[in-house]
Amino acid sequence: MKTPENNAIRAQFPILSRQVNGKNLIYFDNAATSQKPQSVIDALSDYYSRYNANIHRGIHTLAEEATLAYEASRHAVQEFIGAAMVEEIIFTRGTTEGINLVAYTWGRKNIKAGDEILISGMEHHSNIVPWQILCQEKNAVLKVIPVLDDGTLSMEQYRDLLHERTKLVAIVQVSNALGTVNPVKEIISMAHQFGAKVLVDGAQSAVHLDIDVQDLDCDFFAFSGHKLYAPTGIGVLYGKKELLEAMPVFQGGGEMIKEVSFELTTYNDLPYKYEAGTPNIADTIVLKTALDFIKSIGKEQIRKHENELLDYATSQLESIPGLKIIGQAKEKVSLVSFVFENIHPHDVGIILDQQGIALRTGHHCTQPLMKRFGIPGTIRASFAIYNTKEEIDSLIAGIYKSIKMLS
Ligand code: PMP
């Protein structure tokens, strides 16, 4: 059903009025990247049309305007995730770069032979591979919290895996493959009892859940702008100030220095210490526009609408013979992953694309998780604020059509 408010929201997304293969686009690949509202598209054009300049260095008006807008975005992010200080907000290219930054700097300084890093069985590759590389280099041990049949984490086994050798827990808040919301606050508090630091992968959670990094008490939190209505190429790494201050630098270059001589370089204060070179100015500025868009609707309203879509889609999908939903946690975001016993996910995806329905099929960069469930991949429909129940009806009709064609 399209509510009047939902119509007004849909009208802000120009891409939703395009046709794909002769059909109205139905976009259900929001966990991969969300579509962008007109305000975001306009803000990008406005920056390049009116005040494109390099930041922090120039004394001219354009440079000052760009710098102010860039730093305003940092303040908006601070508020969005409840950080105590604006210096704790580091701009990155995305979640992947944020996690790699922590692995490369904090990890290389603090992880020693025999130390343990604990991740979970539902991590995205970007929260597996950087720790694997670090463990190989340092002779440290990577341990994994098992995933239960319903797609939740075994908290019992997590408790058993934690001990004094655990130096870091790197955990996804919301699974991109299953939609499971993990109890990260509890996970963090348990890790801290053993003196371990905790990095939260917030790539999927930041758009759906209220994030308060102080309340969570996480040590690091990484997310990407493009999954929350902002452009690609801009992300955020939050870190507690004392940790960011003590960590060695990441990339060397302009902006991250205080003074350079051939003998010795001193480094800039936070957050610039981790932002070497000319940053992604335009997309960083526009990240604030995307956060303003979310604020204008309200996270509570977003969650309410998306939960209705999730409940509706789940009940409709469950009624399809031979369809199995993977991941049935009580706490989920608006994402459903499913499989058929005798039909390959890609084949369904291709037929749905012919109906104008965009969704994701495959392993979703979570190959170990797919292996855990004994499947090559899933079909994943993920919903955003602009989706409707009518679109879900079209998905269900498209699935019946696929079954007919492929059986
Ligand atoms: N973690 C999770 C849970 C994700 O869903 C993604 C994106 N699919 C990432 C990390 C990586 O994000 P990015 O590609 O934007 O760096």
DSSP for 177-216, please give it. Answer: TT-BBP-HHHHHHHHHHTT-EEEEE-TTTTTTS---HHHH
Q: Is 187 in the pocket of ligand 1 (CB under 6 A)?
A: no
Give the tens place of pLDDT for each residue, 261-293: 999 999 999 999 999 999 999 999 999 999 999
Note the CATH number of domain 4-30+298-406.
Answer: 3.90.1150.10
Contacts of 14 (CB under 8 A, 6+ apart): 38, 41
Specify whether the CB–CB gap between 111 and 133 falls below 8 A. no
DSSP element (H, E) containing 171? strand 166-172
Q: Measuring CA to CA, which residue among 176, 164, 174, 170 is closest to residue 188?
A: 170
Give residue 226 CA to ligand 1 midpoint distance, Å: 10
Give the tens place of pLDDT for each residue, 131-161: 999 999 999 999 999 999 999 999 999 999 9
Closest residue to atom 8 of ligand 1, CA basis: 32
Is the domain spanning 42-295 CATH 3.40.640.10? The answer is: yes
Specify whether the CB–CB gap between 177 and 147 falls below 8 A. no
Active site residue 218: no
Q: Is 201 in the pocket of ligand 1 (CB under 6 A)?
A: yes
Atom of ligand 1 nearest to the CA of 224: 15
In the chain, which segments carry CATH 3.90.1150.10?
A: 4-30+298-406
So what's the pLDDT on residue 6?
A: 84
Q: Out of 148, 365, 375, 406, pick the active-site residue.
A: 365
Q: Is 224 in the pocket of ligand 1 (CB under 6 A)?
A: yes
In the chain, which segments carry CATH 3.40.640.10?
A: 42-295
SS3 356: coil
Q: Is 348 in the pocket of ligand 1 (CB under 6 A)?
A: no
Give residue 126 CA to ligand 1 midpoint distance, Å: 7
Low-confidence ranges of the chain (pLDDT < 50): none
So what's the pLDDT on residue 58?
A: 78
- Which pTM was predicted? 0.98
Give residue 124 CA to ligand 1 midpoint distance, Å: 7
